[in-house]
Amino acid sequence: MMFPPKKSSHHAEQFINRELSLLQFQRRVLAQAADKTVPLLERLRFLCIVSSNLDEFFEIRVSGIREQIRLGSTSSGTDGIPPTELLTLVSAEVHKILAEQYSLLNDDILPALENEGVVFLRRGLWDDAQSAWIHDFFRREAIPVLTPIGLDPAHPFPRVFNKSLNFAVELEGRDAFGRVSNTAIVQAPRTLPRIIRLPDRPGQPPYTFVFLSSVLHTHVDELFDGMHVQGCYQFRVTRNSDLFFDEEEVKDLRAVLKGELQQRHFGDAVRLEVADNCSAEMADFLLQHFKLGRADLYATPGIVNLVRMMQVPDWVDRPELKYPPFRPGLPKPLEHQRDIFSVIRKQDILLHHPFQSFTPVIDLLRAGADDPQVVAIKMTVYRTGTDSVLMEHLVRAAQKGKEVTVVLELMARFDEEANITWANRLEEAGAHVVYGVFGYKVHAKLLMFVRREPEGLRRYVHLGTGNYHPRTTRFYTDFGLLTANEEIGEDVAEVFKQITGLGRASCLTHLWQAPFTLQPNVVAAIKNETEIARAGRRARIVAKVNALLEPETIEALYEASQAGVNIDLIVRGPCALRPGVPGLSENIRVRSLVGRFLEHHRIMCFRADGENRVYLSSADWMQRNFFRRIEIAFPVLDPRLKRRVIKEGLRGYLTDTQAWDMQPDGHYRHKNSRRIPPRSAQNMLLAELATGG
C-alpha cells in the first residue's frame, strides 16, 4: 500500500520546477570551477562534476520527461509546466550551461594548468618525438582492440553503449571488395585509456597528456586502407538508465535485476553529444539513427565527456594545486578507548563526517564481529561500494555463527550490481539477506548490535544521515549517532522487524518513520510552530536538506511564514519553494552551499517554545522519501550533543559568506561580498574538529 501525499491546494506559480531548480544547482557547482580562490586542480574537478551530474540528469530526469511525452501525457507537476514545454526549457538551459562550462575550460582552466606545467597537447602541437611515440602507442595498444565497422546492408549500425566514446567516420572510395560505403563507426573500447600521459622528457612540461580522441583522429586513416577519410567526429550517446519491470510479475527481485542490468546500457537515447567540428550531414544522420531531434544535439567545443578528466588531479603530484590534506578527528570519549561498547553504554556519541572519522563505526562493527557477547547484528545497506571493509566484517561475523541480518537495497541506483555481489557473499557466509519491502526503497541508515551482558540483553545502535560507504564519508558531510538508549534501541528493533517480517506498523517512541509517520510529523512540527507564532510567542524553524519538493510540506511552511514563524532553510539542491514572496513566504530564507565537501546531512530544528527539538534524518523533503521509501528521522536527546548539532550543522551554515541566497524566481545570488569578512562553515569545522594532514 502506497501512502500518497495530499493534493496541493496552491497555485502553480507558487512552485518552482524540480528539473529547472536542479539545473540551477549545476550552475552553483560550475561557479566553484570559476572561483579563482579554489585550488586549480580542484577547479578542474568541479568542472568534471558538472558533466557527471548532467549525465545522471539526462539518464534519469530527462528520460522521465521524454517517457511522459512518449505516453502522450500532458499533465504537469505542482509547477504547472507540461512535459513538452519543460523539455524545451531544459534543453535551452543545458546548452547555456555547456557553453559556459567549455568557455571556462578552454579560456581559463586549461591555460592556467599549462602555466603550471600540466599540459593537454593538441594534435597540431606534437613535435616529431611525441608524434612518433603516439603513433607507436596507436599501433601497439589501439589497433589490436579496435573494430572499425563500415555501414552497409551486411553491417548495420552497431549497438552503442550508454556514454561510450565513439567516432563517426566519413569515407570516400572503394574497399578491397569493391564496396562503396561513405560511413563507418569506430567504437573506443573501454580498455583503452581516455587520457594518455606522455613519457617524461627534458624540456617537456612535467605533466603532458594527450586525449585518446586526438590519437584516433590522427591515425584513423590506418583503419581504412586505400580509402580517403573526409572527416572523423567524436560522438557520445546518453541513454535512459532507469530499470523497468512489472512489479506484479516479479517472483525473484535479484534475478530480475540481473537481467535488467544487462539492458541498462542500451536504453532509449536521450542525448547526443558531438564535437563542434562535426559536419551537419553527419549530425543529422546520427540524430536520425538514435531517434532524436535537434534540441537533443549538444555540440561541444572540445572533447565530449569531460568526466574523463576527473582523475587528472589524482595523477598530478602538485599539493599546492589541491585542497590541503587533513586528518579526521575523534570525539574525546573515543580517543583512547579500548572497549567501544563500554564508551557507548556511558554516553551517546555524535560523529560529524568528514571532519570526524568514520573509523569508530568500522571499529564498532569489527568489535561486534569478534566479541563473543554479541549475539546478533542487523544492518541496512543502501550504498557501500565494491570493496567495503564493513561488509567484510559482516561476512566474518556470520562465519563466526552470529545472527547477522542485512537489509540490502538492491534498487540503489547505479549500485545494483555491487549490492547483488554482496548479497551473494553474505548468504554464502550464512547471513540472512532481505531486500526490504517490495515497492519501497530502504534508505534508512541503521546498524544494531544485540549484546549479552550481566543485566541481560542490551542493544547498541548507530543511526546516520549518510551511507555506510567509507569512501564517501571522506567527502560527504553527515552526522552519525552511537547510542545504547533503550527506547531508541527498541524503536530500531521494531523497524527491522517491520522490514524483515510481516505485520502492522507499531507506534515508535522516538523515531519518525517513512512511509508512516515521518511526513505527518514534519508537517505537525511546522504547524506547531505556526500555532506558537499565532499565540504571539517566538517561533523558529531551521532545516537542512538536499532537496525540498514535497507540496504539503511547502504549503505548511508558507502557512507558517504567514503566521510569523522565522524560517531558515539550507537546501543544497532542488527547491520548489519560493522564498521571500510578499504575503506568501516573506519570512522564509533559502540558501545553498557548495564547497569542498558535498553537503549531505539532513537536520531539523524546531524551537518548540525553547525546547529546541532536533532531529537528524536520512530523508530529504521529497515525495519519494516521504511516501515511497523506508526512511528514519531520529532525535538528538543529549542536550550537549543537541547544542553541537545546532552549532556545527546549522548556525555555521547560516553565517557562511560563500553561500548562495535563493531568489523568489528560483535563481540564486552569491552572498560573497568584499565588505563581509570571509566565513566558511566547512573550513571552520575542519579547524575545530580535524587536524592537519
Phi-psi region of 530 (alpha: psi -120 to 50; beta: other; left: phi over 0): alpha
> Which parts of 608-688 are beta strand (E)?
613-617, 629-635, 660-662, 668-670
Closest by alpha carbon to 51, among 8, 7, 102, 1? 102
Closest by alpha carbon to 462, among 452, 448, 472, 476? 448
> What is the per-residue DSSP string for 543-556?
EEES-B--HHHHHH
Supply φ then ψ for residue 667, to 5 degrees: -85, 170
Residue type, 353: H
What cell numbers appear for 257 in the block? 535485476
Give the DSSP H/E element, type plus range, for residue 691: strand 691-692
> Which parts of 69-174 are beta strand (E)?
118-120, 149-150, 166-172
Give the DSSP H/E element, type plus range, for residue 477: strand 476-483
Cα angle vertex 574, ends 656, 661, to 5°? 30
- Mark whether 443 is an active-site residue: yes
Give the DSSP H/E element, type plus range, for residue 589: strand 588-592
What cell numbers appear for 336 in the block? 583512547
Which is it for the CA torsion 368, 369, 372, 374, positive or negative?
positive
Helix, strand, coil % over all residues of the chain, rounded to 5: 40, 25, 35
Classify residue 384 by burial, with Cβ atoms within 10 Å: 0-12, 13-18, 19+: buried
Which is it for the CA torsion 216, 218, 219, 224, positive or negative?
positive
Closest by alpha carbon to 578, among 12, 2, 15, 10? 15
What cell numbers appear for 435 in the block? 531486500
> What is the per-residue DSSP string for 491-525?
HHHHHHHHHHS-SPPPPPSS-EEETTTHHHHHHHH
Supply φ then ψ for residue 403, to 5 degrees: -80, 100
Report the chain's C-alpha Rg in angstroms. Answer: 27
Q: Of residues 352, 443, 462, 601, which has the active-site annotation?
A: 443
What cell numbers appear for 4 in the block? 500518497
Cα angle vertex 434, ends 428, 437, to 5°? 165
Residues ≥6 apart with Cβ < 8 Å to 603: 465, 479, 542, 543, 544, 614, 615, 616, 617, 645, 649, 650
Closest by alpha carbon to 516, among 113, 211, 508? 508
What cell numbers appear for 571 in the block? 537546501
DSSP label of 590: E
Residue 464, Cβ neighbours under 10 Å: how many?
27
CA atoms within 13 A on the CB side of 244: 11
Closest by alpha carbon to 545, among 444, 629, 616, 463? 616
Residue 577 CA to residue 498 CA, distance in Å, equals: 34
Residue 394 CA to residue 470 CA, distance in Å, equals: 15
Asked whether the beta carbons of 138 and 126 are under 8 A apart, the reply is no
Classify residue 468 by burial, with Cβ atoms within 10 Å: 0-12, 13-18, 19+: buried
Residue 542 CA to residue 594 CA, distance in Å, equals: 18
By annotation, the residues acting in catalysis are 443
